[in-house]
Amino acid sequence: MYEERSGLVTMRGNPLTLIGNSLKVGDKAPDFEVTGNDMKPAGLSSFQGKVCVISSVPSLDTPVCDMETRRFNTEAAMLGNDVVILTISMDLPFAQKRWCGAAGVDKVITLSDYKTASFGAAYGVLIKELRLLARAVFVIDRKGIVQYIQVVKEIADEPDYSAVIKAVKGLV
């Protein structure tokens, strides 16, 4: 059974409950199984040997998630081939593929946690009340160790991009 933690994130000031493991910097990043836009399974192990930035968002079809994913797409173009940026949400793979096409997002890999919430539970960002993912960013080094975590307190706020990019640049 997964732990439940209250008050770490809010939506419009209202506290929400996160379900799942509480990760810390230095932990081995847990693998997970999500679905790619091609409907094939993917997980952290699919990107072994790369520095991984995992951005979890509630839904690409909301303004803040849209801005965040576009921003990470721009950053990805400047970070090189040793870095992969994944955006994971509960959006269906079809919706993610449509959104990427409409937004011109071609560097960030969008993945869906809709089937089993495997990522949300493993990374402690599954919102109990909404069955959506909280806004968070994890940076994982080439050896699969969590090097940076940012859980955004208010879901409607963007993450601190410069802190994320600084953490990534320290690993490449």
The model's pLDDT over 17-49, given as tens digits with 9 standing for 90+, comes to 999 989 999 999 999 999 999 999 999 999 999
* Bridge partner residues of 52 (DSSP): 84, 140
Are the beta carbons of 72 and 165 closer than 8 angstroms? no
What pLDDT does 21 receive?
87
| Catalytic (active site) residue 100 | no
Are the beta carbons of 36 and 69 closer than 8 angstroms? no
In this prediction the pTM is: 0.96
* Bridge partner residues of 54 (DSSP): 86, 138
Give the structural domain span for 82.
Answer: 4-169
The model's pLDDT over 51-78, given as tens digits with 9 standing for 90+, comes to 999 999 999 999 999 999 999 999 998 9
Average pLDDT score over residue span 13-19: 96
What total of structural domains would you count in the chain? 1
Strand-pair category, 51-56 with 83-89: parallel
CATH of the domain at 79: 3.40.30.10
Residue in 65, 85, 109, 111 annotated catalytic: 65
